[in-house]
Structure 1
Amino acid sequence: MHEVVTISVSQRANHLNTQFFNIQEGYLQLSKEQQVNDSKIFLNPTVDKVSRTVSFTPRALLWDARTGNGSLGTYQYSETQDYHFGNEDRFKDQTIIKTHPKIPKSEYQSALDAGTPLPTLSRENTKYWSDYSKLIYGPSSFNILRDWYHDVENPNQPDFQNLGERKFDRYSIGYDEFTENYLQEFFDGNLHTELEKCDTLQGLNLVSDVESGWGGFSSALLLELRNELPKKTVFSWGFNEDDPFTNDSPMKGLSKKWLPIISNKLRSTINMMLESDLYFPLYASPGLTNWETAGENCRILDSINATVSQSNLEQRKTMDYLTTAVTLGYSSRNMITGMVIGNTDYSFCSQIAPFKNSHKHNGAHVFSRSFIDRRSQMCQNHSEPDPQSKIIEMRTHRYFPSDTIPAEFSRDYEFALELKSSEKSRDIFKHWNEFVVRYFKNDNDREELKNQLSDYASAYESGWYEDEDSGDDDM
């Protein structure tokens, strides 16, 4: 067995992993003849010898702000005293300080507990990831920011002490929060507990936002994770929203409000790439809630994980195999430039405007292409691809979307996912480098960032480019 542990950092990341683990729960409902994956890779089995039953909990560590878990308590399914609410008699001789109103259990969770028909999910009843989570998590899965509270109106940026005066909106805030308050506690506590449940750990998935303090928090966590587990494979996944560089005239769209956001994004991306074997820059489409965004992107996360956990051992691949398929041994090209299904590219790279001297007419050079085929009907005349073509093909079972995924994102059960590494990634690093040159006048890490961005841009170049030095340092 080669287990994979998932670390989920932020409310939006927890929504995505909830959808993924709901799919894992669905696999448990299949008959023995229908089984398509090895559930033990992502789920930890606990055997009850008395009743002769097996229960499964996710191999997951979830980080969120206070109240971000909604009505779900850390010990909800093993103790009844996690909250004061509903246990007033037990606390009658103690002083109770209420810091926030009770969050009622969702109708969906109530129906799951009662075994009654499940209600239809919508934007209104999926505010929290726990509103529609199907599996029961172990107590060691939950990790909470003690001083930051979930903001229902702005769910991806916690609020300090619930005062409405300070947001979890800076890379430095998140980085310092983890290193100063949680590093030792997390690694000696909950992470160690989860790792002990694994026989042969293959690697980890880390999912996070990159535009807020969560990006800095994840970067600090990932740096220490690499020191702790240097030989294990790590895939990191970062959610990106639109910014001025997704417009046709990037620099014209810049204003003061964008400076901290782009600063967070580029610092988080650089550090997650440095400490990961593969980095998946996910795109959060505008206008979608976290529940919908998770449903849209789950087919990408599930396709990667299905490839390493499928029951067909001849087709099953390792995380290391996937890494080599994308990078071809060039560790500096570990960003997934394209994640294409049909006509849709789920990578944030696809949203970025071309840099001013990009090869617009000839198209971006493709360094590697990999396909994960999830179609049941295979081509009869299929032959193995030529190794010199840099195209790698993998196969796994069809998609089994959970009924918690919005209908518009769960219609296609059979598809092929294309993973690309191409020159398009260069556009991001060149835009960011120009941004750092123009606006990071007093940042202590300015020169280091410029060098890192230039190195990554060079790694994604093919062919000759005209001199592009703008001389902005002299402005």
Structure 2
Amino acid sequence: MQEIVTISVSHRANHLSTQFYNCQEQNLYNNDPNNSLDSSVFLNPLIDRRTKTASYYPRLLVWEAKNGNGSLGTYQYAQDTQDYHFKDDKNEASNSESSHELITTHKKIERSKYQDALDRNEVFPELTKENTRYWSDYNKLIYQPYTFNSLNDWYHDPESPNLPDYKDLKRQRFVNNDQGIMEWKLQQDDFLDENLRTVLESCDSLQGFNLVADIGSAWGGFSSSLLQELKDEIPKCSIFSWGFFESDILTNSKPNIDNKYQMKNIIQNTLSMMDHSDLFFPVYSDSKLSNWEVAGQTCRLYDAVNSVLSHRDTNKRKSMDYITNCITDGESKRNLITSMSEVDSNYDYSYISRVVPYGRKIKKPTDYYEFSNCVIHRGSQYTEDIKKNINLKNKEYFRNLETTVFQPSDTIPEEFRTSPEYSVKLSSSEKARDVFKHWNDYVQKVFRYDDNREELKEVIGTLISAYEYGWYSDEDSGDDL
């Protein structure tokens, strides 16, 4: 087996990881060897030799703000061998050395009705955006204690779940890249030496990582710093980075967070993640949807890609390196996936496709030159897609990958699990050039007094060249204005 570990950084990212691992739990009940997934790639099976049963735990590490885990405790499912004695005014514990005093640090977060029903093996209540505010409200698998990692002084705010609050004072938000970088420096040694090492020791032959994170806030600075250390620690492993992007000034939409930091965060973190990842997936997060809904929708894409990596049929199963080669064609600089769309619905999950080139002629998506693509087909829909879309027939055979039908968990919103057979097209196109031209203009105008301004311009200029095809006039060459 070739295991893949997920590192999930931010509350929104943890919702996606929860949906994905709930689907992995669903796959455990699939007995069809020709149309099922190898659960050991993403789940760690622990065998009880006495009862001859297996318990499955996610190969997962999560980062959260304080209280962001909801009602789920770090050691909730760990055996407790210590007898605790709580002091009482009338009857103190006889042994003062072993007695403990219960101290409440925050208001108790009640368990969800879904979790209560899960524990009691009862009928599950219907999930809605109102009763899924925490990802722990609907997670199905049991997490090991080493899974959990928490920020030091930043607290989860249910009213603004993607932007932690400093010491729960409602005065400062986790929006500045430097805040994330500083937070990582305070925690990196413990994380790398303890929790990361523990999860790696459970792997026999590690293939790589999925890193899922928010990009436009301080979570992006935290994640890009983590990624650099991860690449240094384990340089030979493949890394797929998945970044959530919200609306910003370049999508012609109202920004969701402070403009002062958002675009700087996006530019710096995307460039860093591209530099240290094999592939970078820029995923758009619709502000009209809750985190539970965004995760359910995005899981169709995320699960499709990862199902190829864990298919039980070795003829259909592909490696992370294989998919990377499908997209980059050996050009490592072109590792940004420009479009991620479902073939039938034409819905594009990509943030890149939503960027509008101000001051330049707007092209149709079909007008951009496509350097390469990879099409993942789930189920018998494959042959139908070939008949409908001539573009798929003209691509090399190795770019058309077959995998299992989508087996969604009941925690996925109904509208995103009604079509289990579909195809997802991942592509790298010239559209990325327009985006980098935007960023180059922005850096020149806004980063005037930043120490790394010239370095960023050089990196962006290199990427503009990498995504150019054909001839361009001098005024549109990407040189400084």
> Counterparts in 2 of 1:400-411, with a 5 A limit?
400-411=407-418
Secondary structure of the residue aligned to 2:383 is coil
Aligned to 1:108: 114
* Cα distance change, pair 441–381 in 1 and its aligned pair in 2 (3 A): closer
Give CA-to-partner distance per residue, 1:258-289, whole Å, 9 cap, x none.
Answer: 13111111111111100000000001012100
For residue 194 of structure 2, the aligned residue among 189, 192, 203 is 189
Secondary structure of the residue aligned to 1:162 is coil
Contact conserved, 1:355 with 1:427, CA < 8 A, in 2? no
> Counterparts in 2 of 1:395-474, with a 5 A limit?
395-468=402-475
Q: Could you tell me how far 1:464 is from its partner in structure 2?
A: 1.8
Secondary structure of the residue aligned to 1:165 is coil
Aligned to 2:308: 307
Q: Could you tell me how far 1:155 is from its partner in structure 2?
A: 0.4
Aligned to 1:330: 331
Secondary structure of the residue aligned to 1:220 is helix
Aligned to 1:122: 128
Q: Could you tell me how far 1:376 is from its partner in structure 2?
A: 2.4
Secondary structure of the residue aligned to 1:199 is coil
Aligned to 1:241: 246
For residue 348 of structure 1, the aligned residue among 330, 339, 351 is 351
Distance 1:100 1:302 in 2: 36
TM-score when normalising by structure 1: 0.92
Distance 1:434 1:463 in 2: 22
Flag structure 1 segments of 5+ consecutive residues without an equivalent.
Answer: none
Aligned to 1:374: 378
Q: Could you tell me how far 1:388 is from its partner in structure 2?
A: 7.6
Distance 2:144 2:380 in 1: 35
Distance 1:471 1:386 in 2: 35
* Cα distance change, pair 296–365 in 1 and its aligned pair in 2 (3 A): same
Aligned to 1:231: 236
1:147 is the counterpart of 2:131? no
Give CA-to-partner distance per residue, 1:216-261, whole Å, 9 cap, x none.
Answer: 00000000000011010000000001111112xx9xx899941311
* Cα distance change, pair 46–388 in 1 and its aligned pair in 2 (3 A): closer
Secondary structure of the residue aligned to 1:345 is coil
Distance 1:150 1:285 in 2: 20
Q: Could you tell me how far 1:354 is from its partner in structure 2?
A: 2.9
* Cα distance change, pair 187–103 in 1 and its aligned pair in 2 (3 A): same
For residue 166 of structure 1, the aligned residue among 156, 172, 196 is 172
Secondary structure of the residue aligned to 2:282 is strand
Aligned to 1:16: 16
Instruction: Work out the percentage of aligned pairs sharing the same amino acid.
Output: 47
Contact conserved, 2:86 with 2:100, CA < 8 A, in 1? no
Distance 2:278 2:218 in 1: 23
Q: Could you tell me how far 1:470 is from its partner in structure 2?
A: 11
For 1:412, give the aligned amino acid: S
Distance 1:46 1:125 in 2: 32
Contact conserved, 2:381 with 2:423, CA < 8 A, in 1? no
Distance 1:255 1:156 in 2: 10
Give CA-to-partner distance per residue, 1:304-351, whole Å, 9 cap, x none.
Answer: 100010111111000000000000000000011010102101111111
Aligned to 2:183: 177
* Cα distance change, pair 210–377 in 1 and its aligned pair in 2 (3 A): closer
For 1:460, give the aligned amino acid: Y
> Counterparts in 2 of 1:79-98, with a 5 A limit?
79=79, 94-98=100-104
For 1:231, give the aligned amino acid: K
Distance 1:172 1:319 in 2: 31
Distance 2:444 2:368 in 1: 25
Task: List structure 1 runs of 4+ shifted beyond 6 angstroms.
Answer: 86-92, 253-256, 380-383, 385-388, 469-474
Contact conserved, 2:437 with 2:478, CA < 8 A, in 1? no
Distance 2:257 2:217 in 1: 16
Distance 1:17 1:87 in 2: 37
Give CA-to-partner distance per residue, 1:19-64, whole Å, 9 cap, x none.
Answer: 0000000011223657601000000000111111000000000000
Secondary structure of the residue aligned to 2:474 is coil
Aligned to 1:264: 265
Aligned to 2:289: 288
Contact conserved, 1:367 with 1:390, CA < 8 A, in 2? no
Distance 1:255 1:109 in 2: 31
Distance 1:133 1:243 in 2: 31
Count of paired positions: 467
For 1:207, give the aligned amino acid: V
For 1:13, give the aligned amino acid: A
Distance 2:144 2:106 in 1: 24
Contact conserved, 1:376 with 1:397, CA < 8 A, in 2? no
1:218 is the counterpart of 2:223? yes
Contact conserved, 1:65 with 1:149, CA < 8 A, in 2? yes
For 1:261, give the aligned amino acid: Q
For 2:53, give the aligned amino acid: T
Aligned to 2:321: 320
Aligned to 1:71: 71
Distance 1:449 1:412 in 2: 42
Q: Could you tell me how far 1:452 is from its partner in structure 2?
A: 1.1
Contact conserved, 2:246 with 2:255, CA < 8 A, in 1? no
For 1:346, give the aligned amino acid: Y
Flag structure 2 segments of 5+ consecutive residues without an equivalent.
Answer: 94-98
What is the alpha-carbon root mean square deviation over aligned residues? 2.9
> Counterparts in 2 of 1:25-44, with a 5 A limit?
25-31=25-31, 36-44=36-44
Distance 1:30 1:473 in 2: 57
* Cα distance change, pair 87–379 in 1 and its aligned pair in 2 (3 A): farther
